[in-house]
Chain A
Amino acid sequence: MRRVAIVGIGHTKFGVRNASLRELAFEAAREALEDAKLTIDDLDSLIVGIVSAEFAKMVSPGAQIAEYLGINPKGSMRVEAACATGSAAIRAGYMTIASGLSDLVLVVGCEKMRELSTQEGLEIMSKAADTKWEYSFCCTFAGYYAMLANAHMKRYGTTEEQLAMVGVKNHSNALNNPYAHLHKKINIDDVLNSKMVAYPLKLYDSCPLSDGAAAVVLASDELANKFEEPIWISGLGVATDTASMMTRESYTEIRGATLAAREAYKYAKVDPSDIDLAEVHDAFTIGEILAYEDLGFCKKGKGGELVEEGETEIGGKIPVNTDGGLKAKGHPLGATGVSQAVEIVTQLRGEAGKRQVEGAEIGLSHNVGGNGQYIFVTIYKR
């Protein structure tokens, strides 16, 4: 198999955007191509990651995006793995190049979530859980993560304050990320006093609904070496679990994350202690605490202490979500995994400005689909 590197990155401002899905995709693609000093004509194929075309009032959105980007008649397809779609799209791009089918692939992750009302958006997302058996109990994704939080708090003594600390840290990091949806410094009391969404998760434990896109240009090793600073995809792990909460073995971990991480570490021949920074799936603050544990940054049950000790801040043992995470940067579903890759590449190139992790060589992304049914862990090296 051929090695694959990221040679260009692009990112739109996340937030409520007066722009259509295809226009958002173009913004990110243009930036990625300009970063790589390439044009559309140089590309061999396109992979588009979008979770739900329902958000953008269409079906088969990949084709409409391919047309707007001017990729026709070259090959293109859409990839979907719930909220881990962006990482699935990068994996698909990786496979396309590693297999020899293409040499230069553009991967665009995007989602247009604010065309619809919040209520309509929540309804669409609810259908990413088990629609046959659990839909009628009117749980939301906040509710599913809240169930994990309550189980974790009961078993390990994790506190609402520790959950809040994740939100405070990520909001603080987002202040230095111009692409972030939310630029608002908050403290622990702001989180604890914010509106309850699904006990124990509050408004500031939850990511916003955002529009946005992110893009990367992937290249085969022989091409990548001609670029100034290729960042190599050196490990990939993927695992799945049930969409149905009723058939889960455990509510105190995301089992698939533990498995996907193990696979990615083995592939990249690294240990958790080798990781210089991580981008993890903090759609809800408990998600970040579970990620610390499932990725092996601390023992199971010790995630709350890890954030409390400041070890996941920039300057700590393992900085996490230096760009603000889903929590503050925003979570345009299909864009998120690609956005995580963009942040890691920015950091490994040493271009992250005020949020730079000094001397970062190895970065990891952890992207969870739905309430844990898809998990992609990807490791990037300079």
Chain B
Amino acid sequence: MSLDHTAVRHIARLARLAVREDELESLRSDLERVLHLFDDLAAANVDNLTPLAHPHDQSLGLRDDRVGETDRSEELLALAPFSQGGYYLVPKVIE
């Protein structure tokens, strides 16, 4: 698997990680090395196996439909870098 700069920019964009142009090449070769590690997956014989996403093939625990949390907005909003009038604030979004 080989990566080019466009691919690295695309992944970084999907992951919302700012990458400077001067970091691009070292990041690219770095990622390429890690991806080479994954070539090993192709060597494993996984014919007729289904993917295992959770250990022990667990099934899901459910809860009853009850309200169990009270308003903690003041406490939670205090954690935010920017908030006003009960809202979290972000730079203007245009739809």
| A, B in one complex | no
Give B contacts to A, CB under 8 Å: none
